[in-house]
Chains A and B, each alone.
Chain A
Amino acid sequence: MIDAAPILALDNVTKVFGHGDKQVVAARSISFGLHAGRTLALVGESGSGKTTAARLIMREYHPDEGRLLFRGQPMGKADAKGLRAYRTSVQMVFQDPFSSLNPARSIRHHLERPLRLHQRDLDSAQRKAKIEELLRLVRLDPEQVVAKFPHELSGGQRQRISIARALAVNPQVIVADEPTSMLDVSVRLGILNLLNEMKKELGVALLYITHDIATARYVAEDIMVMYAGQIVEWGAMDSVLDDPQHPYTRLLLSAVPDPDRRFDDTRFDIELSRIDHIRRQAALPQPDVQQVGDNHFIRPMPD
């Protein structure tokens, strides 16, 4: 179990978009904490509210209800200065390695900028040394890549640059939003290994957002399953994956491509025969929380 206080936490946060009868609840009473040296995976379909959760943490959105706690301190609406201080500690890696780097700027520029902004006491020689150190950390050869432009690098290399850029400020928390979904299988593993090393060696707290549950299992100790703005099931990774309790989690897992389970496998037939029912019911507010295992919780779905 985790006893230390989380570095960063969402406490009962709700975020609503739209007005009147066209309201969309993108986050409904979500609570979770990120701990140093641990990874929490947030999985769900597109439109389930995963990215809203990431933006709430990055303070791009302000919660309509509930609080964002950083080292136990509630964070209010941020001004520019407050945001900059906050981003020295909390950084993000984006999904698309092709659009998250500026095509007109060299790799050196991409890594120098966070250093200039967030570590102002460094002189240019120290910055140069730091850039090389960062590139080595993400397993790239500084001499080869530092003068290059993003289009000269592969997708995997670019994603490594994104990670190096996030690490440049010595963050305590990194939010990675689908960092491997646009990469090939063989490149994906390298990025996942890098995230694991970051967590172990630098003690970073990681929120790993994905729709690919198999990669979530590879990097994270804990998992949360999100649907229609709610976290419907959460807990220790293997407890949730091997014994899913919420009907939506069971549906999601039944649909995840698993080479060990052929299409004629009947284990999840009940879920697959009532997809529409589960979707409808799981979208309703489910305020109760039920503990189903040591570190395993669900919000029971109304029938």
Chain B
Amino acid sequence: MTQPVLSVRNLTIDYVGAEKDFTAVKDVSFDVAPGEFFGLAGESGCGKSTIAFAISRLHRAPALIRSGSQILVAGRNVLDLGDEELRDFRWREVAMVFQSAMNSLNPVLTIESQFYDVLKTHAGLNRKQSRERAAELLKLVDISPDRLTAYPHQCSGGMRQRIVIAICLALNPKLLIMDEPTTALDVVVQREILQRINVLRKELGFSVLFITHDLGLMVQVSDRIGIMLEGELVEANAAEEIYRHPQHPYTRKLWASMPRLHGAQIAAEATP
């Protein structure tokens, strides 16, 4: 078997409190294979975003990763990296797309400058090279290169999110983490973006860790899915399997409480 891109082992994260600690993530282990679309699903407060932040070491105090936890990206333990190594690791190996497309771009810089920021720091490109690379990247996400001179407020929400994704792909990362990337967007725009990501990951070969509370969407796009409940990974399996043959009672209840678009409607009593 090939080495997984991401391998999370016995990850435990506490939010340290004055009187007692709150364990947000309890002994979670999972792998993401090269080129795989892995979905992490669960309700609000189940710890899925905490995991996403921990993988690129973006978690802040009071969050504390307990000793014994391991996050291996291409065999290297992220938790052992020094400051310089960490700078090099972010963007180049793992890039992250956050939930609000509105807030993750700098409102006073043009799109071009925001690409330049990343490309200069991490790849040492000059203005001209960066402009060419940025134009290529925008084409990947179906945006015309003349948008480079625009400011974020001149672009729609869907377009901004696609620009963020293009910036994330700038250094050919091995893993793209998407934390509720389309929650603030309309379904048609959401579909366009995810379909594009799905094509790109097949072309470019990166893996995706996709975090959402929308279970229907998750089953549609993911290869494998992990279901989280109160900090624990209760079930992980192939998407079709987890949908057709859920094993854990919580997963079963989740499906049972999702209204259907076609065919027989769910029963009214099935509240988890």
A-B interaction:
yes
- Cβ of B150 within 8 Å of any chain A Cβ, yes or no, is no
Taking a contact as CB atoms closer than 8 A, the residue among A46, A193, A214 that contacts B186 in the complex is A46
Chain A neighbourhood of B187, CB < 8 A: 45, 211, 252, 255-257
Taking a contact as CB atoms closer than 8 A, the residue among A189, A213, A260, A272 that contacts B191 in the complex is A272
Q: For the complex, give the distance between the alpha carbons of A4 and B212 in Å.
A: 44
Q: For the complex, give the distance between the alpha carbons of A81 and B254 in Å.
A: 47
Q: For the complex, give the distance between the alpha carbons of A291 and B221 in Å.
A: 36
Q: For the complex, give the distance between the alpha carbons of A272 and B266 in Å.
A: 29
Query: Given A185-B254, A186-B271, are A258 and B188 also a contact pair (CB < 8 Å)?
Result: no
B213 lies within 8 A of A185 (CB): yes
Q: For the complex, give the distance between the alpha carbons of A279 and B72 in Å.
A: 45
Interface mask (A251-282 → B, CB under 8 Å = 1, otherwise 0):
11111111111110000000010010000000
Query: Given A184-B43, A188-B257, A189-B257, are A263 and B186 also a contact pair (CB < 8 Å)?
Result: no
- Determine how close the nearest CB of chain B comes to the CB of A228; give it in whole angstroms: 13
- Cβ of B79 within 8 Å of any chain A Cβ, yes or no, is no
- Cβ of B198 within 8 Å of any chain A Cβ, yes or no, is yes
- Cβ of A301 within 8 Å of any chain B Cβ, yes or no, is no
Q: For the complex, give the distance between the alpha carbons of A57 and B215 in Å.
A: 34
Q: For the complex, give the distance between the alpha carbons of A277 and B265 in Å.
A: 34
- How many residues of chain A have a CB within 8 Å of chain B? 34
Interface mask (B139-162 → A, CB under 8 Å = 1, otherwise 0):
000000000000000000000000
Chain B, Cβ-Cβ closest to A262: B220
Chain B neighbourhood of A253, CB < 8 A: 261
Interface mask (A181-219 → B, CB under 8 Å = 1, otherwise 0):
000111011101100100000000000000101110110
Chain B, Cβ-Cβ closest to A212: B259
Interface mask (A64-88 → B, CB under 8 Å = 1, otherwise 0):
0000000000000000000000000
Chain B neighbourhood of A137, CB < 8 A: none
A256 lies within 8 A of B261 (CB): yes
Q: For the complex, give the distance between the alpha carbons of A257 and B219 in Å.
A: 9
Chain B, Cβ-Cβ closest to A196: B268
Query: Given A241-B261, A255-B187, are A184 and B44 also a contact pair (CB < 8 Å)?
Result: yes
Most chain-B Cβ atoms within 10 A of its Cβ — which of A185, A253, A260? A185
Q: For the complex, give the distance between the alpha carbons of A196 and B190 in Å.
A: 30
Chain B neighbourhood of A262, CB < 8 A: 219-220
Taking a contact as CB atoms closer than 8 A, the residue among B43, B198, B266, B268 that contacts A263 in the complex is B198
Q: For the complex, give the distance between the alpha carbons of A263 and B202 in Å.
A: 13
- Cβ of B21 within 8 Å of any chain A Cβ, yes or no, is no
- Cβ of A294 within 8 Å of any chain B Cβ, yes or no, is no
Taking a contact as CB atoms closer than 8 A, the residue among B43, B220, B266 that contacts A186 in the complex is B43
- Cβ of A242 within 8 Å of any chain B Cβ, yes or no, is yes
- Determine how close the nearest CB of chain B comes to the CB of A274; give it in whole angstroms: 12
Report the tally of A-B residue pairs with Cβ distances under 8 A: 92
- Determine how close the nearest CB of chain A comes to the CB of B190; give it in whole angstroms: 7
Chain B neighbourhood of A184, CB < 8 A: 43-44, 213
A213 lies within 8 A of B261 (CB): yes
Q: For the complex, give the distance between the alpha carbons of A256 and B217 in Å.
A: 8
Chain A neighbourhood of B44, CB < 8 A: 184
- Cβ of B124 within 8 Å of any chain A Cβ, yes or no, is no
A242 lies within 8 A of B214 (CB): no
- Determine how close the nearest CB of chain B comes to the CB of A223; give it in whole angstroms: 12
- Cβ of B194 within 8 Å of any chain A Cβ, yes or no, is yes
B262 lies within 8 A of A242 (CB): yes
- Determine how close the nearest CB of chain A comes to the CB of B251; give it in whole angstroms: 12
Chain A neighbourhood of B217, CB < 8 A: 257
Chain B, Cβ-Cβ closest to A248: B188
- A-facing residues in B174-230 (Cβ within 8 Å): 186-188, 190-192, 194-195, 198, 213-217, 219-221
Chain A neighbourhood of B216, CB < 8 A: 214, 256-259
A255 lies within 8 A of B191 (CB): yes
Chain A neighbourhood of B215, CB < 8 A: 185, 259
Chain A, Cβ-Cβ closest to B191: A255
B271 lies within 8 A of A252 (CB): no
B268 lies within 8 A of A193 (CB): yes
B interface list, Cβ under 8 A from A: 43-44, 186-188, 190-192, 194-195, 198, 213-217, 219-221, 243, 253-254, 257-262, 265-266, 268, 270-272
17 contacting pairs across A/B (C-beta < 8 A): A45-B187, A46-B186, A184-B43, A188-B257, A193-B268, A193-B271, A211-B187, A214-B216, A214-B260, A215-B259, A217-B259, A217-B265, A255-B188, A258-B216, A258-B262, A259-B216, A259-B258
